[in-house]
Amino acid sequence: MTAMMRQLTWNEMTDAEKAWVHQRGTAADSADELRPAIRALVDDVRQRGDAALLDALARFDHVDIAADGIAVSTQEFDDALATIDAGVHDAIRQMIANIRAFNLALLERRQGWTAEIAPGHTVGEKVGPVSDAALFCPSGKASYPSVLAQIATPAVVAGVANISVIVPPLPDGSGRVDDAVLVVAHELGLDRVFRVNGPAGVAAAAFGTDTIPAHSMIIGPGSPPVALAQLEVRAYGVDTVVLGPTESLVLADASADPILLAADLLNEAEHGTDSTVILVTSFQAVIDAVSIEVERQARALPAERRLAAQSALGVNGGAILTDSMEQSVEVANWFAAEHCQLAVANPWQVADTIEHAGELLLGQHTPFSVGNFTLGGPAALPTGGFANRAGGITVEKFCKAGAIGHLTANALSAVAKSTIALSDHEGFDAHGNAIRIRQNLGRDG
């Protein structure tokens, strides 16, 4: 019988095995096959608007509605608020409160500023919200109100004036949008929620239709078709952030509890067959104990979640044995995981050595599930290795900074010679003349 968690040794892995893990296994599959169909769908929405949206809902989501059903109604919001489980509603409020607190603290640190870098020579930035944003909340395999909270709360904190929510209906064919998603939107004061097929909804948010306004920014994770649609609309000047399947890495030492390690690995591995989950440790005994525990705990999962875990831990990821903590850190930085948990005796010390991770969860009292829901930090994070050059979706993504400059007459005089020299070198006569004319008029200080 094949073990659920694959075991690898870093010093013995081939280049091909390392490449497979680094590209997140099956996450790289099928994009070329899907791209032509997604391009055609995006173009159809661009040309036919609402009619194409209704056709896509019927074809891919098996939902037949009229055009006036694309926008979620006030009655649907009221029904969601009336029927939502009280415990879930309280959890949503706590989740939003913690995310809001994180982003408010971040916003305080991202304010406008000025600095005098030479006498009379002032530079700085004016910081403000972007003009608009469409937020995509996935609903293909299940419903994810936490995703909407994670990407919408920062937008609201930033002060974005025009926000729309794009969400596919529940996968049961009812055409309904999940009550919890609507409650999240209500708690954040968002009333523009549109019921659409995923890739078609991305196109609608980019180009606009009779029902859905056009947006300059689209953010939100989704299936490979949704990600491809986001890539397609970039060609039309729309700012998108493409977030791929979940990926996680746990770095452990001998102090880690194998029962908790297994629970946290399965926490991430159950997301889907395209997820990648890795345990990195220099202790073979830890791998052996965790492997047994993963098998035991997985037996209690529904069949669909077990299948996802087998792929995430047995095909795409697995346990990697290193020869030292230093090499474990090297592997963690090489992988640049979306989510990284440090299950070690001194997590704060090890955290100083991790340069590339979308988030760091320090210690075994900080499981992935808390990071996904109630920690407050971003859970919409860079995937596919992009954590080595990007961060998660926070209030900063919804802010823009305009540069500020001011020169006194004397400060202008101090940079005039250099400005003319560079203008002449690059062949811009009028640039140089803007300085020379001031000099001739005696207005350069």
Q: Which two tokens stand for residue 84?
A: 């939502």
Q: What is the DSSP string of 314-381?
A: HTS-EEEE-SSHHHHHHHHHHHT-SEEEEESS-HHHHHTT----SEEEESTTS-HHHHHHTS-S--S-
* Catalytic residue (choose from 187, 271, 339, 396): 339
Strand residue runs (E) in 94-215: 113-118, 121-129, 132-136, 162-167, 193-195
Annotated active-site residue 125? The verdict is no
φ/ψ of residue 260, rounded to 5: -70, -35
What is the C-alpha separation between 445 and 318, in angstroms, rounded? 68
Strand partners for 402: 126
Q: Which two tokens stand for residue 47?
A: 């040309």
Starting at the edge strand found earlier in the chain, the sheet holding 121-129 runs: 113-118, 121-129, 399-407
φ/ψ of residue 350, rounded to 5: -70, -35
User: What is residue 178's DSSP assignment?
Assistant: P
Q: How far is CA 439 from CA 413, 414, 415, 435, in A?
A: 8, 12, 12, 6
Q: How open is the CA angle 225-226-229, to the nearest 5 degrees? A: 85
Among candidate residues 252, 322, 312, the one with its CA nearest the CA of residue 286: 252
Among candidate residues 19, 25, 27, the one with its CA nearest the CA of residue 245: 27
Annotated active-site residue 339? The verdict is yes
* Catalytic residue (choose from 247, 338, 359, 396): 338
Bridging pattern class, strands 121-129 and 113-118: antiparallel
| Dihedral in degrees, nearest 10, Cα atoms 372, 373, 377, 379 | 30
Bridging pattern class, strands 239-241 and 339-343: unpaired
What is the C-alpha separation between 197 and 169, in angstroms, rounded? 8
* Residue count (the chain): 445
CB 443 within 8 A of CB 155: no
Catalytic residue positions, numbered: 338-339
